[in-house]
């Protein structure tokens, strides 16, 4: 006798995102003008940044319909809604990664929900290994461009026009005006900051020295395991994007220290204070 077929896993599409957005709206009880205009995705070890919100309401991911849950240490798995320097903000404290076994649609689901909530500007932060000489541990890298080496794209597969166009222009994925404002803010605060190209690999293993040499020849200034899927989905939805990488370590082969996730988390905590100062000054300009 043939075994019964297992039930196929339902894809996270537009209808599921709408249900998640409606739940969040109900729980938050948004007053007029209080819907989030800016969304922030926090990278590894940067959870303390969420505490800067005024009048914040926290919603665990597990309570939001269809929301995936992060399985990585350093990603709390909470949505924070409130105001930062007077600006309505939604913070995703914890992201999903392809290396956790999630599909590209699951990874970008929270980003798409933010877009449905009304977010117009998305600030994506991440931890990264520095490749360029100026990308030193403890500094920030404003993303000017990226190289997608994860082997996946969240727009691949069946197309739903409600998300936006299928073929989107990525020549200016990171908004030039936002990058200029970020550079000026970093300079005013005298923060160690440069601008460059971020390469995103699948992970979860760190790169080999040979891979880092190859990435350097490709023009990468820093390397990580996230961010790119969310940026692609945000641009499809017409959301402006600013990317900021916290350089937590020198990439493989560029220092004598072995790489570890614990080091990434520790440096993330150390640089959180500077990121808070940076956003305090930047957000009112947006």
Q: Which of 44, 153, 157 is nearest to 107 (CA)?
A: 153
Could you tell me the CA-to-CA distances from 68 to 26, 58, 65, 165, 256 in Å, in that order?
Answer: 19, 16, 9, 25, 37
Q: Which of 200, 249, 272, 274 is catalytic?
A: 249
146 noted as active-site residue: no
Selected catalytic residue, list 34, 66, 100, 120? 100
Give the Cα separation of 201 and 261 in Å (integer).
15
Q: Phi and psi of 185, rounded to 5°?
A: -65, -45
Token pair recorded at residue 12: 């996270």
Is 54 a residue of the active site?
no
Known active-site residue 262: no
Q: Which residue has the tokens 């691949």?
A: 156
Looking at the DSSP bridge assignments, the partners of residue 201 are 149
Catalytic residue check, 96:
no
171 classed as catalytic: no
For the four alpha carbons of 238, 92, 73 and 192, in that order, the dihedral sign comes to positive
The active-site residue, picked from 76, 136, 211, 261, is 261
User: Is 106 an annotated catalytic residue?
Assistant: no
Alpha carbons 164 and 186: distance in angstroms, whole number: 33
Q: How far apart are CA 255 and CA 252, in angstroms?
A: 7
Catalytic residue among 61, 80, 90, 97, which? 97
Active-site residue, selected from the candidate residues 21, 28, 44, 251: 44
Omega before 204 within 30 of 0, i.e. cis: yes
Which residue in 127, 182, 220, 234 is the catalytic one? 127
* Catalytic site includes residue 159: no
The residue count of the chain comes to 286
Cis-peptide, bond into residue 126, ω within 30° of zero: no
Looking at 182, 225, 234, 251, which residue is catalytic?
225
Is 6 tagged catalytic? Answer: no
Give the dihedral of Cα atoms 108, 114, 119, 123; nearest 10 deg: -50
- Would residue 100 show up in a list of annotated catalytic residues for this protein? yes
Helical H segments across 29-123, by residue range? 104-117
**CA pair distance 34, 87, nearest whole angstrom:** 9
Question: Known catalytic residue: 267?
Answer: no
**Residue among 50, 61, 70, 75 flagged as catalytic:** 75
> Which sequence positions are flagged as catalytic?
44, 75, 97, 99-100, 127, 225-226, 249, 261
């Amino acid at each position: 006798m043939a075994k019964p077929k297992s039930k196929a896993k339902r894809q996270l599409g537009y209808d599921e995102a709408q249900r998640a957005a409606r739940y969040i709206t109900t729980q938050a009880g948004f007053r007029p003008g209080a819907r989030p205009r800016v969304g922030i995705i926090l990278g590894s070890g940067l959870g303390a940044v969420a505490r800067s919100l005024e009048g914040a309401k926290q919603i665990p991911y597990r309570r939001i319909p269809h929301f995936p849950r992060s399985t990585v240490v350093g990603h709390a798995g909470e949505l924070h809604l409130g105001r930062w320097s007077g600006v309505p903000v939604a913070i995703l404290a914890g992201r999903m990664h392809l290396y956790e076994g999630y599909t590209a649609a699951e990874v970008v689901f929270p980003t798409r929900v933010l877009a449905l909530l009304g977010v117009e500007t998305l600030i994506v932060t991440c931890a990264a290994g520095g490749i360029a000489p100026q990308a030193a541990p403890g500094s920030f890298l404003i993303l000017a461009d990226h190289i997608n080496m994860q082997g996946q794209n969240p727009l691949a597969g069946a197309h739903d026009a409600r998300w936006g166009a299928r073929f989107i222009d990525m020549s200016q994925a990171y908004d030039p005006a936002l990058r200029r404002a970020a550079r000026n803010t970093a300079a005013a605060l005298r923060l160690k900051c440069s601008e460059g190209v971020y390469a995103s690999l699948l992970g979860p293993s760190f790169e080999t020295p040979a891979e880092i040499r190859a990435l350097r020849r490709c023009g990468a200034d820093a390397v990580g395991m996230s961010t790119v899927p969310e940026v692609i989905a945000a641009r499809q939805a017409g959301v402006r994007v600013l990317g900021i990488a916290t350089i937590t370590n020198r990439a493989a082969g560029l220092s004598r220290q072995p790489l570890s996730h614990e080091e990434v988390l520790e440096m993330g905590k150390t640089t959180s204070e500077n990121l808070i100062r940076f956003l305090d000054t930047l957000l009112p300009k947006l």
